[in-house]
Amino acid sequence: MRAEISNARVHPMAQIIDGKIYADRLREQVAEEVARLKAEHGLQPGLAVVLVGEDPASSVYVRSKGKATVEVGMEGFQHRLSAEAPQEELLALIARLNADGGVHGILVQLPLPAHIDSSAVLAAIDPDKDVDGFHIVNAGRLAVGLPGLVPCTPLGCLLMLKDQLGDLSGLHAVVVGRSNIVGKPMAQLLLGESCTVTIAHSRTRDLPALCRTADILIAAVGRPEMIRGDWIKPGATVIDVGINRTGDGLVGDVDFDAVREVAGAITPVPGGVGPMTTACLLENTLEAALARRARVPLE
């Protein structure tokens, strides 16, 4: 019975894109460059992470980011404010971090409590220290093709795609999701690689048919296993950004078991995009430190 199934399969099972391997490799490269900066220039990149409130998932993220920072030889600064802290207190902290020469990257963990205006907080971060890449200056730089800090999750996806596929030019990329932190910057990055890019969202008509035209399919929706096996063009590369906590544990936006029968390559959840996101945060902090050294060489 098993032999019959495998003989009937048109394509072999998709290759699994192991995000942990990519992330380890990137972290090693960052650590080497940090060691060189310290040895040759006495410069230690520093990343400040700010957490407001006690959200358990956010606390876990902040702790693991802090650990990862120290592991690559950077300096990690953690700032915790109470859930009731007024917006002014957070803005004053950001102003101090902006002015601190030992801090090259600033990350404010989202979501923020409801009484705080997230966009005002993100706008207060010095764009050259905005290692999350969420500041509108960095969004603008990305849109017009200028160098800047790029959001970590789409950056990680792009690095894996380029390593996997080489030249992306001319490929049709469908990005499902149009958020400012994943979908839109992902689409911009793929356009920058000369893909033909389609952005889909909740109002898109006949999403399955659209997805079937994708050489590269990025799922950034937040709906467990929404993307089915028969939505996939045979041989396509599928990147699953989704993180959904269900009764059965953590699942992505892609029906992994069905899609891997059709796709050429696919990222798993967990162990795909997630690990690369943290590694790209370190990469961005390094980039921010290098860029500042180029601007202020005698610091």
Question: Is residue 127 at the binding interface for ligand NDP, with CB under 6 A as the rule?
Answer: no
Instruction: Candidates 36, 67, 96, 201: give the one binding ligand NDP (CB under 6 A).
Output: 201
Number of C-beta neighbours around residue 24 at 10 A: 13
- Could you give the CA distance from residue 293 to residue 253 in angstroms, rounded to a whole number? 40
Residue 257 annotated to the active site:
no
Question: Is residue 224 at the binding interface for ligand NDP, with CB under 6 A as the rule?
Answer: no
Q: What are phi and psi of 17, to 5 degrees?
A: -85, 110
CA separation, residue 252 to residues 136, 272, 275, 289 (Å): 28, 10, 14, 34
Instruction: Candidates 49, 50, 159, 182: give the one binding ligand NDP (CB under 6 A).
Output: 182
Instruction: Candidates 62, 176, 190, 238: give the one binding ligand NDP (CB under 6 A).
Output: 176
Cβ distance to ligand NDP smaller for residue 43 or 182: 182
Rounded to a whole number of angstroms, the CA Rg of the chain reads: 20
Query: At its nearest, how many Å lie between ligand NDP and the CB of residue 148?
Result: 19
Question: Is residue 158 at the binding interface for ligand NDP, with CB under 6 A as the rule?
Answer: no
Cβ distance to ligand NDP smaller for residue 34 or 251: 251
Spatial neighbors of 262 by CB under 8 A, at least 6 apart, are 11, 14, 229, 230, 232, 233, 234, 236
- Could you give the CA distance from residue 77 to residue 245 in angstroms, rounded to a whole number? 29
Residue 15 annotated to the active site:
no
Question: Is residue 153 at the binding interface for ligand NDP, with CB under 6 A as the rule?
Answer: yes
Residue 109 annotated to the active site:
yes
Q: In the structure encoding, which two tokens stand for residue 132, read together? A: 């999350």
Cβ distance to ligand NDP smaller for residue 200 or 282: 200
Give the active site residues.
65, 109, 132
Q: For binding to ligand NDP (CB under 6 A), which residues are involved? A: 153, 176-179, 181-183, 200-204, 207, 220-223, 241-244, 273-274, 277
